[in-house]
């Protein structure tokens, strides 16, 4: 029995670590009112609340959202008065797993976004990317295909 207790403690510690994966399968569509959009996603964890926001006129230099509007308990949301007539609008969502834990933001751009922005969003909007404290982590490591690294200043080294 004494040997079993450390194993049980280890298993409880490992399985007790909460994870908050980001949503996937983001879609948007206009509805009967051309100014309204239905924004949908698939939840990959146990979140019952999500945070959403829209960034109009998104460019590669646009900062990612810091906060948005909290919604629950659905995985789709009608965004009123958000016409997609021009400009690159990006719809962002993240899972709120607890009061202290949320997933990374994931986003989908409208058809007016350039191929470069769509690729940028597809690369960064997945569960294998995490940015914390200005550090970037990619999983799995090493990356399997290619990584594009760009910066506003000279990149001294990639380690």
How many CB atoms within 10 Å of residue 119? 13
Q: Return the structure tokens found at 53.
A: 């926001």
Q: Which residues form the domain of 88?
A: 18-127
CA distances from 83 to 23, 91, 152 (A): 24, 12, 31
Cβ contacts of residue 158 below 8 Å, gap of 6+?
A: 149
Q: Is residue 4, in this structure, part of any structural domain at all?
A: no
Q: Is residue 136, in this structure, part of any structural domain at all?
A: no
The gap from C-alpha 133 to its chain's centroid, in whole angstroms, comes to 17
Q: Return the structure tokens found at 88.
A: 């690159």
Confidence (pLDDT) at 143: 53
Give per-residue pLDDT as tens, 73-93: 676 777 766 556 678 889 899
**Tens digit of pLDDT per residue, the chain (159 long)?**
444 434 433 334 333 334 899 998 888 887 777 677 888 889 999 898 898 888 888 988 888 888 887 777 676 777 766 556 678 889 899 999 998 999 988 988 888 889 888 888 887 655 444 455 555 555 544 555 566 666 667 777 766
pTM: 0.64
Confidence (pLDDT) at 125: 55
Q: Are strands 49-55 and 69-71 parallel, antiparallel or unpaired?
A: antiparallel
Confidence (pLDDT) at 8: 37
Q: Return the structure tokens found at 31.
A: 């509805």
Confidence (pLDDT) at 35: 72
Q: Is residue 93, in this structure, part of any structural domain at all?
A: yes
How many CB atoms within 10 Å of residue 2? 5
Residue (of 158, 156, 157, 150) closest to 61 by Cα position: 150
Confidence (pLDDT) at 101: 92
Q: The domain spanning residue 31 has which CATH number? A: 2.60.40.10
Q: What domain count does the chain have?
A: 1
Angstrom distance (rounded) from CA 86 to CA 28: 15
């Amino acid at each position: 029995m004494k040997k079993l207790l450390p194993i049980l403690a280890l298993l409880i510690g490992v399985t007790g670590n909460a994870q908050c994966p980001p949503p996937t399968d983001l879609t948007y569509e206009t509805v009967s009112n051309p100014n309204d959009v239905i924004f949908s996603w698939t939840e990959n964890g146990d979140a019952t609340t999500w945070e959403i926001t829209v960034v109009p006129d998104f460019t590669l230099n646009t900062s990612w959202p810091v906060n948005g509007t909290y919604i629950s308990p659905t995985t789709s949301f009608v965004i009123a008065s958000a016409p997609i007539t021009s400009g690159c609008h990006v719809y962002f969502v993240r899972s709120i797993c607890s009061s202290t834990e949320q997933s990374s933001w994931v986003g989908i751009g409208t058809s007016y976004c350039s191929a470069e922005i769509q690729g940028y969003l597809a690369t960064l909007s997945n569960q294998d990317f995490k940015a914390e404290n200005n550090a970037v982590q990619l999983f799995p490591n090493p990356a399997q295909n290619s990584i594009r690294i760009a910066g506003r200043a000279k990149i001294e080294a990639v380690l």
